[in-house]
């Protein structure tokens, strides 16, 4: 029975790749440049700026907390982590460009975490008590597992962690490690912001950039990154914690489970993707490339409905996600959210590409 349920829940993305590809309509260079100009102005730069601001605030909060550790200060540092994660969830779909350069994506948030590597390496750093390893240049060369928000979560939300955990000699080193990580994340956030600010004019001009060799390739790569980011939500953020049954659920593998924000991450991910498809703040999304006819209007409507249905389904999951997946009654809502997110995949992988002139290849859908 549980195997049948699992198979019903897991129509693999690879199946979509076996479908015959529909011919994609041609796009003009002007269309691509206009779309990129609008996306950079109203979507990309705003979100990259929010990441830089939130990560800088996290570093400032941790610094204040470490100057005089108390319960209020720990709460402030945790709130700073939450705001930084909000901003990170809002840019995760913007994979080409600054996030991929210098492995910034993994360094900002090393997740999924395999073999408990973040915990092990954080503990090793805490045990080593080596102040030289925490200097900015040296820290930036450490393993990606200890450089970002996943490590901050371990340090601030670990089992039994209280304000007292940051007091005394050992606690002082814990504070120093936390501050080194937070400052590193802030530096990476600023680099992402500045990287996109520099790339914007080049993209609009159709020049070769790390996003693509031309405006057309940049548009194609950004769309492919959107599809990959959605696959991460479906396969890693929802399916892996679900497992095959309540007994087989893997709650510890949910993203940000210690901070209790697994569902919030997914909500923000989906909202950001929706904005990139349908537009935000008066700017265009990929739907601006749809033909101005009944078929284009129907595709736009289908995309909006798929995103809205998924957002409602995720919101209906009883929080936290790591508890819901292991509860026979509550996990039904998680399964519904999974199916709704798969509904977005159907639109993004099958319905929109031929209408907007994007061809998706296997590597683009292969995920992380």
DSSP for residue 209:
B
Q: What is the pLDDT of residue 9?
A: 37
Cis, bond preceding 320 (omega within 30 deg of 0): yes
Q: Provide CB contacts within 8 A for 130, sequence distance 6+.
A: none
Residue carrying structure tokens 């265009």: 284
Give every residue of the chain whose pLDDT is below 70, as ranges: 1-25, 362-368
Range of the domain at 251: 2-365
- In three-state secondary structure terms, 111 is coil
Query: 148 is written with which tokens?
Result: 């970002």
pLDDT at 126: 94
Total number of domains in the chain: 1
Measured from the Cβ of residue 44, the count of other Cβ atoms closer than 10 Å reads 25
Q: What is the pLDDT of residues 279-323, one digit of tens each?
A: 999 999 999 999 999 999 999 999 999 999 999 999 999 989 999
* The Cα angle at residue 251 between residues 89 and 86, in degrees rounded to 5: 15
Q: What count of Cα atoms within 13 Å lies in the side-chain half-sphere of residue 141?
A: 5
> What CATH number does the domain containing 321 carry?
1.20.1420.20
Q: Is the dihedral of CA 250, 255, 256, 261 positive or negative?
A: negative
Contacting residues for 259 by C-beta, under 8 A, at least 6 apart: 78, 81, 82, 85, 153, 156, 157
Taking alpha carbons only, the member of 220, 273, 254 closest to residue 93 is: 273
How many Cβ atoms are within 10 Å of 124's Cβ, its own excluded? 11
Global pTM value: 0.91
pLDDT per residue as tens digits for the range 121-161: 999 999 999 999 999 999 999 999 999 999 999 999 999 99
Instruction: Please give the pLDDT value at position 57.
Output: 98
Residue with tokens 């901050």: 152
Give, in order, the Cα–Cα distances in Å from 304 to each of 123, 151, 333.
45, 35, 21
For position 359, what pLDDT does the model report? 85
- The residue among 117, 179, 171, 182 whose CA lies nearest residue 144 is 117
98 CB-near residues (< 8 Å, 6+ apart): 48, 104, 191, 192, 195, 196, 199, 210
Measure CA 231 to chain center.
11
**How many Å apart are CA 111 and CA 95, to the nearest integer?**
14
Six token digits for residue 333: 């809502």
């Amino acid at each position: 029975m549980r195997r049948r349920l699992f198979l019903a829940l897991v129509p693999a993305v690879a199946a979509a790749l076996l479908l015959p590809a529909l011919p994609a309509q041609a796009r003009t260079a002007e269309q691509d440049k206009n779309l990129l100009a609008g996306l950079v102005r109203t979507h990309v730069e705003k979100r990259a700026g929010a990441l830089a601001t939130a990560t800088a605030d996290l570093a400032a909060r941790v610094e204040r907390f470490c100057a005089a550790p108390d319960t209020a200060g720990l709460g402030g540092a945790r709130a700073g982590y939450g705001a930084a994660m909000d901003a990170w969830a809002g840019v995760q779909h913007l994979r080409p460009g600054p996030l991929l350069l210098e492995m910034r994506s993994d360094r900002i948030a090393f997740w999924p975490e395999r073999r408990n590597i973040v915990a092990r390496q954080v503990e090793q750093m805490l045990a080593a008590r080596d102040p030289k390893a925490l200097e900015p240049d040296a820290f930036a060369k450490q393993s990606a597992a200890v450089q970002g928000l996943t490590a901050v979560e371990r340090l601030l939300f670990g089992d039994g962690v209280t304000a007292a955990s940051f007091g005394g000699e050992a606690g002082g080193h814990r504070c120093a490690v936390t501050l080194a990580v937070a400052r590193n994340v802030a530096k990476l956030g600023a680099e992402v912001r500045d990287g996109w600010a520099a790339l914007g004019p080049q993209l609009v001009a159709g020049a070769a950039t790390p996003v693509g060799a031309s405006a057309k390739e940049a548009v194609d790569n950004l769309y492919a990154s959107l599809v990959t980011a959605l696959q991460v939500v479906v396969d890693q953020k929802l399916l892996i914690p679900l497992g095959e049954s309540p007994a087989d659920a893997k709650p510890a593998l949910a993203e940000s489970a210690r901070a209790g924000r697994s569902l919030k991450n997914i909500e923000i991910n989906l909202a950001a993707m929706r904005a990139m498809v349908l537009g935000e703040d008066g700017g265009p999304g990929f739907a601006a490339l749809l033909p101005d006819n009944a078929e284009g209007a129907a595709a736009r409507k289908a995309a909006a409905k798929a995103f809205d249905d998924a957002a409602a389904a995720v919101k209906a999951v009883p929080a936290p996600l790591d508890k819901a997946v292991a509860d026979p009654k509550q996990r039904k809502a998680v399964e519904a959210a999974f199916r709704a997110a798969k509904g977005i995949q159907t639109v993004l992988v099958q319905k929109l590409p031929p209408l907007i002139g994007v061809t998706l290849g296997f590597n683009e859908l292969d995920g992380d």
